[in-house]
Amino acid sequence: MTISIMANTDILLRFGERVRELRKKRGWTQEAFADYCGLDRTYVGGIERGERNVALRNIEVIAATLEISISQLTKSL
Amino acid sequence: MTISIMANTDILLRFGERVRELRKKRGWTQEAFADYCGLDRTYVGGIERGERNVALRNIEVIAATLEISISQLTKSL
DNA sequence: ATGTGACTTGAAGTCCGTC
DNA sequence: AGACGGACTTCAAGTCACA
């Protein structure tokens, strides 16, 4: 029995899916979102695909851009 | 007026203080905690001093070792 | 509008030690 | 028990051209 649909998959994939979900909910493209974050478009793409082991400072930037706390951003992980 | 005592200070410092607080609450030394995490003792020391921009995989390891979720670990940040 | 490979540079992370 | 330094290796950060 699973707690969440994202349980038991890699943390980077789960984080990426979460970011993508929240970004899309706001109707933003990857490119626009990357601009808001002050990050490169391809870097954000890599995060959403679970290829980047994002560090705390960028996690903070992403949460701030989504206007939620880091705790909320990592809620379902 | 401040929301939290740790607001407006660097995210790395806040994270480090949070880790230190939770580690001490469990009565663990830095070295023992580092061993449990499978990380280097000097690295964990650096994290607690706010000198390390910890990435997601290690945040997950730290949370798991403390037996809490990442969301709980980053609750007060 | 996004995925991907290749790349450089700076920081993550380890291992030795001293105070 | 923990801060801190030097030297080292691995990896995250950040960018680009092209599909």
In this complex, do A69 and B70 lie within 8 Å of one another by their Cβ atoms?
no
Which residues does chain B have within 8 Å of residue A55's beta carbon, measured at their own beta carbons? 53-56
Distance in Å, alpha carbon of A7 to nearest chain B alpha carbon: 12
Task: Round to a whole number and report the distance in Å from the CA of B30 to the C1' of D1.
Answer: 8
Mean pLDDT of all residues in B55-76: 97
**Burial (0-12, 13-18, 19+ Cβ within 10 Å), B60:** buried
Instruction: Write the DSSP symbol of residue A55.
Output: B
B33-63 tens-digit pLDDT: 999 999 999 999 999 999 999 999 999 999 9
**Burial (0-12, 13-18, 19+ Cβ within 10 Å), B27:** exposed
Which residue in A35, A6, B40 sits closest to B30, CA to CA? Answer: B40
When the pLDDT of each residue in chain A is averaged and rounded to a whole number, the result is: 91
Give CA–CA dist A68/A11, Å, rounded.
19
Task: Round to a whole number and report the distance in Å from the CA of B54 to the C1' of C8.
Answer: 22
